[in-house]
A and B are shown apart, each in its own frame.
Chain A
Amino acid sequence: MNLLQAMRLALGAIWSNKLRSFLTMLGVIIGVFAVVALVSLGQGATSRVTEQVQGMGSNLITLYIRGRGPLSSLTYDEAMDLAARSGVRAVAPVVNGQVTVKYGNQSASTTLEGTTPDYPSVRSYNIEWGRFLAPVDIQNRQKVAVLGADVVETLFAGTNPLGREIRIDGTAFTVVGVLEKKGTSMGGSNDDKVIIPVSTAQRLLRDAGVRTVYIQAESPEAVNQVVAGLEAVMQRRFRDEDAYRVFNQAEILDTVSQVTGTLTLMLGGIAGISLLVGGIGIMNIMLVSVTERTREIGITKALGAKKRDILWQFLVESAVISSLGGLVGLLLGYGLVRTISKFTGLTAVFSPQVVAVAVLFSLFVGVFFGIYPANKAANLNPIEALRAE
């Protein structure tokens, strides 16, 4: 008896017991459904976070200065000197503080960043309207401001802010540009900020120190070298490892993908357990069905069925039940994932690997949990089987 024939017999048996077959399948359906949905959502989360980290700027290295004793920051010139190091394409030093911004009778509390013209390219910001800071703004300590999208929303409620005068902690600034919306990423909103020339900010905040420097490496390969160089410079400057932190985007990516990867694996594992339970359900029903069909097995043995024929028939039956369940679960999982990503912001990645693993695993579950009952059927003694009720 070949596989095709065994499949025909198995389908016949499944079909003649529709409700029970369906209920048996349900365990696998739910298991595969859970695996597919959870893993897809997990992978979606991973790719989204990765995108966001990459969106912070390409080949980005961030230097935070915490300082040591009276030495609590870098000077603007020290920060700019970093641009000359090999492997560095551009730097954007940032002087920051919390401020209150007012326009008319609207006011908002937000983050002020004083920086240089290279900031948008280093941090991957686009300008939505107007312009960004120019070198002359820095030189002349111009009172000009570029607004984040959230600030525009709060203060101007949709009207054009270009050329308007706002007050930052009481000082008047002219709005010259608006940043394109970027959404939230690691470390909060990218759109809730006001950017002014670094020189102006040093005045306004009455603090000349640079505590954050964004550095763009020339290439991904250059990142490690630049990081090492930076650490050496800072070590010489502060003589204390705790006085500064160098974050490298690739490292953050690694950490993030490790965390989300573990999470995905865990969700998948939990879902996998339900698949296992589905498998045990199959075994249970197959055992019942072997007992019920003992007499039939005896008859087929009398007709000349070999052990292998009966083994095949039962094994194929449980494999078919399981893989059909797997297929249905897969479709349902796909449907859910599509629906979720359509109606919520969650992205889901429906990867071919998940599909392959779900189908193969459900087939495996069917075969694995089918072996024992099938073997039991195949080894029945024909005479005793024929005597069964």
Chain B
Amino acid sequence: MIRVEGLTKVYRMDGVTVEALRGVDLTVAPREFVAVIGPSGSGKSTLMNIIGCLDVPTTGKYWLNGREVSLLSDNQLAEVRNRQIGFVFQSFNLLPRLSALENVERPLIYRGVGRKERLERARAALERVGLEGRMLHKPTQLSGGQQQRVAIARALVGDPVLILADEPTGSLDSASGRDVMSLLKELHAQGRTIMLITHEPEVARQAQRQVRIHDGRLVGDEGGKAS
């Protein structure tokens, strides 16, 4: 599903260089539920952005479903993000002016799905995360937990094979965090590949496999089928 080799990422800002990734090799099998755990600043988000085709590595190779990502054009990358990947962010990243339904519908707009089907699927996704009563609410009218569930509905509406969640519980109280985690577990049970990023060990423990990252390097890998 995912294979990266010798991934490095160097940021240059005002003459200062930061090595966010220093050679990461990782393979994730289809239907795996992987948690990437590491302290703040260890390069977790950088890794996820590269795996999510939002960013490109400085060096190293990345295959997604057997396709080498560095060979893809901007348009093809957008298509990959649209069809194969669903993102869940720590800060929810909902579009503030749109209702929950319109937010969830968005990925399907870019896919060119017709209006009727879009709305049906967006409604189904919102029902799936238990927000059937909040479809027309704006993000500001929802609690943090509800907003994150809208974001999850948006991530799964396009039926992607891979869900990337970057500290999805990081901004939530523990009860909402548990809801989000159980949703992710359900999605995994339905056959999706899930990559969860966190710095909290008790969150990471809920995944099948834990990959430990420190200072841009993988320093541990437990519970995986490979190990």
Contact of A299 with B78 at beta-carbon distance under 8 Å, contacts A1-B109, A304-B107, A383-B55 already known: no
Contact of B93 among A16, A305, A307, A386 (CB under 8 A): A386
Tell whether B106 is near chain A: CB-to-CB under 8 Å. yes
Contact B78–A307 (Cβ < 8 Å) = yes
Whether A180 is near chain B, meaning CB under 8 Å from some CB there, is no
Chain A residues whose CB sits within 8 angstroms of the CB of B107 once the complex forms: 303-304
Let me know if B74 is at the binding interface, CB within 8 A: yes
Among all A-B residue pairs, the 4 with the closest Cβ atoms: A304-B82, A306-B78, A304-B81, A303-B107
Contact B54 A303 (CB under 8 A): no
Query: Which residues of chain B come closer than 8 Å to A386, judged between CB atoms?
Result: 54, 89, 93
Partner-A contacts on B (CB < 8 A): 49, 52, 54-55, 74-75, 78-83, 87, 89, 93-98, 106-107, 109-112, 154, 158
Total count of chain A residues near the partner, CB < 8 A: 24
Q: Is the CB of A1 within 8 A of B75?
A: no
A302 with B87: CB separation less than 8 A: yes
Partner of B79, one of A12, A296, A304, A382: A304
- Residues from chain A with a CB closer than 8 A to the CB of B82 are 303-305
Give the chain A neighbours of B87 by CB distance below 8 A: 302-303
Total A-B Cβ pairs within 8 A: 66
Query: What are 10 A-B pairs with beta-carbon distances under 8 A?
Result: A1-B110, A2-B112, A12-B97, A295-B93, A298-B93, A301-B81, A302-B81, A302-B93, A304-B107, A307-B74
Q: List A contacts of B81 (CB < 8 A).
A: 301-304
Alpha-carbon distance A299/B54, docked complex (angstroms): 10
State whether A300 and B106 are in contact (beta carbons under 8 Å apart), knowing that A307-B78, A383-B49, A386-B54 are contacts in the complex: yes
Q: Which of A5, A12, A16, A301 contacts B78 (CB 8 A)?
A: A301
Given A305-B78, A306-B74, 14 new contacts (CB under 8 A):
A12-B98, A296-B96, A300-B110, A301-B54, A301-B78, A302-B54, A302-B81, A303-B106, A304-B107, A304-B110, A305-B110, A306-B79, A383-B49, A383-B54
| In the complex, chain A residues 344-386 whose Cβ is within 8 Å of any chain B Cβ | 382-383, 386
Query: Which residue of B is nearest A379, CB measured?
Result: B74
Chain B residue with minimal CB distance to A308?
B75
Instruction: Tell me which residues across on chain A come within 8 A of B110, comparing CB atoms.
Output: 1, 300, 303-306, 309
User: Do A304 and B112 touch (CB < 8 A)?
Assistant: no
The reply to whether A1 and B112 form a contact with Cβ atoms under 8 Å apart is yes
In A286-302, the 8 Å CB interface with B consists of 295-296, 298-302
Set of chain A residues within 8 Å of B74, measured between Cβ atoms = 306-307
Closest chain A CB from B171 CB (angstroms): 15
Residues of A within 8 Å of B55, CB to CB, are 382-383
The prevalent SS among residues of A at the interface is helix
Instruction: Evaluate contact between A296 and B78: CB separation under 8 angstroms.
Output: no
Can you name the residue of chain B whose Cβ is closest to the Cβ of A305? B110
Q: Which of B74, B78, B96 has the most A CB atoms < 10 Å from its CB?
A: B78
Q: What chain A residues lie within 8 Å of B80 (beta carbons)?
A: 304
Cβ–Cβ < 8 Å partners of B111 in chain A: 304
A5 to B108, CA, bound (A): 11
User: Shortest distance in angstroms between A290's beta carbon and chain B's nearest beta carbon?
Assistant: 15
Distance (Å) between the CB of A312 and the closest chain B CB? 11
> Complex Cα distance A198/B106, Å?
90
* Docked complex Cα distance between A332 and B80 (Å): 49
| Residue of chain A at shortest CB distance from B46 | A383
* B50 (CB) vs chain A CBs: closest residue: A383
Residues of A with C-beta under 8 A to B78: 301, 304-307
Flag A4-30 by CB within 8 Å of B: 1 or 0 each. Answer: 010001001100100000000000000
Q: How far is the CA of A198 from the CA of B50 in the complex (A)?
A: 103
Q: How far is the CB of A18 from chain B (nearest CB, A)?
A: 12
User: What is the bound-complex CA distance between A302 and B93, given in angstroms?
Assistant: 10
Query: How far is B81's CA from A386's CA once the two chains are assembled, in angstroms?
Result: 15
Hey, which chain B residues are within 8 Å of A304, CB to CB? 78-83, 107, 110-111, 158
Contacting residues, chain B, for A301 (C-beta < 8 A): 54, 78, 81
